[in-house]
Structure 1
Amino acid sequence: MRKLPPVFAGLGESAVLDWMTGVAPPPAAVTGEVAAQLERMIAALRADAAAPGATFTATGRPTVVSGHRDYTRQERIWSRKFDFEVGVGRFGAITDEARAAFPALGAAVEWDTADDTHRTCWEGLSAEERGREIMRTSSGPGISRHHWGTDLDLWNTSAVHYADGGSLANEYSWLTRHAAAFGFIQPFTARSAAVAHAYTEERWHWSYRPVAEPMLEWVDAHRSTVDTRLRTLWGNSARYAFLRAHWAEFVFHVER
């Protein structure tokens, strides 16, 4: 494991566990460094967009639509989807397994809590199968990279905006070419998604690698301890059956 960066200084095992699972907030040094680098990166993007001969105009939307989320907030997101609450609307990416089991889903791409057919199909899924569906596009409490204070969702979380010709395609293209210079990487890509038990591609999700990578290495070196803490947080609830079995795959099946 590489030498931990200064933001880990003075933090014992329990403190890092609380941080990585979202029970405690990230160190102020982390959030401050990430915010400063993000500001520099977005300023550079806007400068390039405003330069003579630029081929795009940077979006005027608020830059960060979701940053740090603690365990409680992530648990609420998870539970609303698990319980198929009507207010959730569309979510997830229907897996091939669910589509094969329920032909009535037809050509739908996402689950829709307002659709009675989808609700009937969802109710036919086991607790573990529900977890599998949710985890394609939404992390579980305790293992979300948003707990770390290193990860940000930029501008909009709908994939259509980032596709070729989409309203954010130019911004995404710029990020793929320049974000690394400011320390940011895209952790969930088409390549990382091409394995079992991984998140789908998220072109809006960017991670501050100088802290996120050492955090990932710390988790790797303390897997047993992390597993024990997660099982304590989740208890024996059936809604976390899939997470108990596969949490590490989702944590490590990422671009690094």
Structure 2
Amino acid sequence: MKNSKVNLNQYSSCQALGKSDNHLTWLPTNLALHHSVVEPWNTMVNHAKKSGLELTIASSYRSFERQLSIWNRKFTGELAVRNKHNDLIEIQHLNDTDKVMAILTFSALPGASRHHWGTDIDIYASNLLPDKHALQLEPWEYQAQGYFYKLSLWLAKNADQFGFFFPYAHDQGGVAIEPWHISYKPIAQHYQDQLTLPLLSQTLKLSNIEGKAAILANLPIIFEQYITNINEEHYG
């Protein structure tokens, strides 16, 4: 499949930071994808159907403000924070720096989430989810003996031909493994290039993010370990 033609002038820092949605197409499900991702996504969905898989989006675009809400609620203990082994962390007992690092395992900083771009999607196969079972988006669901193992095998073989890859396919010492997270590389790469350390730093300085001092003090390390530290190769 040929990659979409790219006009570099269409990629803005506001889009990269999740502060604009003019690059998005809204789907009937009230979820949004980048304009250039809709066609390859729909094409992949149709191909998967031939293998008995109903590809379904669990999460796609998230704005800066939505990501900020998630972050702040985790920092204050309103939302659960888990480690890479899926164990609950008693975050109230941690200092601010340790809180920041704990949250980053599964949640991006607002302004640094790949979901801001409309290129990254959390997916599952709705027809493989057993009745009366809630979707967890946990690694075991996609591994051998998990509900979505058939989906994992299909994606490993086919996703790249539609332009998608797995930025969190492996544990690289940053974000935890996310076998449900796919990214449309032809477009995502341009937003990744737009998102610089100075831009993110200035954005966070002007925000009302919890743990701001600890975040800014550690931002160069965070940027390298949790933002640019992704799996670049095809997952399979």
TM-score, length basis structure 1: 0.72
What is the one-letter code of the residue matched to 2:119? T
1:47 corresponds to 2:50: yes
> Is residue 162 of structure 1 aligned with residue 136 of structure 2?
no
How far 1:7 moved relative to its partner?
4.4
Equivalence map 1:155-234=2 (5 Å): 155=124, 156=135, 157-190=137-170, 193-195=171-173, 198-219=174-195, 222-233=196-207
Q: Are the counterparts in 2 of residues 78 and 140 from structure 1 also a CA contact under 8 Å? A: yes
Aligned CA RMSD, in angstroms, stands at 2.6
Other structure's SS at 2:115 match: helix
**Alpha-carbon distance between aligned partners in 1 of 2:59 and 2:217, rounded to the nearest angstrom:** 25
Q: Deviations over 1:149-193 (max 9, x none)?
A: 100000251222101111100101110110011010000022xx2
C-alpha contact 2:204 2:212 (8 A) present in aligned 1: no
Change (3 A) 1:133 1:17: same
Residue 79 of structure 1: CA displacement? Answer: 0.9
The one-letter amino acid paired with 1:33 is: S
Give the corresponding residue for 2:13: 17
The answer to whether structure 1 residue 252 and structure 2 residue 228 are counterparts is yes
CA distance in 1, matches of 2:200, 2:48: 38
Give the secondary structure class of the aligned counterpart of 1:77: helix
Tell which structure's C-alpha radius of gyration is larger: 1
The secondary structure found in structure 2 opposite 1:111 is coil
Instruction: Report the Cα offset of residue 226 of structure 1.
Output: 4.1
Return the letter of the residue paired with 2:87: E
SS at match of 2:77: coil
Partner of 2:117: 148
Give the unaligned 5+ runs of structure 2.
Answer: 26-32, 125-134
Query: Structure 2 CA distance, aligned partners of 1:246 and 1:147?
Result: 21
Q: Secondary structure at the match of 2:97?
A: helix
Secondary structure of the residue aligned to 1:25 is coil
- Residue matched to 1:240: 215
8 Å Cα contact 1:17/1:229 also seen in 2? no
Q: Is the 8 A contact 2:169 2:231 kept in 1?
A: yes
Contact 2:64 2:110 (8 Å CA) reproduced: yes
How many percent identity over aligned positions? 23
| 2:94 match: secondary structure | coil
Shift of 1:218: 3.2
Conservation of the 8 A alpha-carbon contact between 1:234 and 1:240: no
Distance 1:83 1:206 in 2: 29
Cα separation, 2, equivalents of 1:246 and 1:133: 14
Which residues in structure 2 correspond to 1:19-38 (within 5 Å)?
Answer: 19-25=15-21, 27-28=23-24, 31-38=34-41
Contact 2:168 2:177 in 1 (8 A): yes
Output the CA distance in 1 between the equivalents of 2:197 and 2:214: 22
CA–CA separation in structure 1 for the residues paired with 2:69 and 2:203: 19
Q: Which residue number corresponds to residue 30 of structure 2?
A: none
Q: Is the 8 A contact 1:82 1:239 kept in 2?
A: no
Amino acid aligned to 2:71: W
CA contact (8 A) 1:231 1:244 kept: no
Taking the aligned partners of 1:28 and 1:7, their CA distance within structure 2 comes to 15
- Where 1:216 maps in the other structure, the secondary structure is helix
Amino acid at match of 1:214: H
The alpha carbon displacement at 1:26 in A equals 5.1
Aligned partner of residue 176 in structure 2, secondary structure: coil
Mapped partners of 2:86, 2:151: distance in 1: 25
Unaligned runs of 5+ in 1: 50-57, 95-107, 113-117
Structure 1 contact 93–136 (Cα < 8 Å) conserved: yes
Once residues 34 and 218 of structure 2 are traced to their aligned partners in structure 1, the CA distance between those partners, rounded to angstroms, is 27
Counterpart of 1:73 in structure 2 is: 66
Distance across 2 between alignment mates of 1:160 and 1:34? 28
Residue 154 of structure 2 aligns to a residue whose secondary structure is helix
2:95 pairs with one of 117, 123, 126: 126
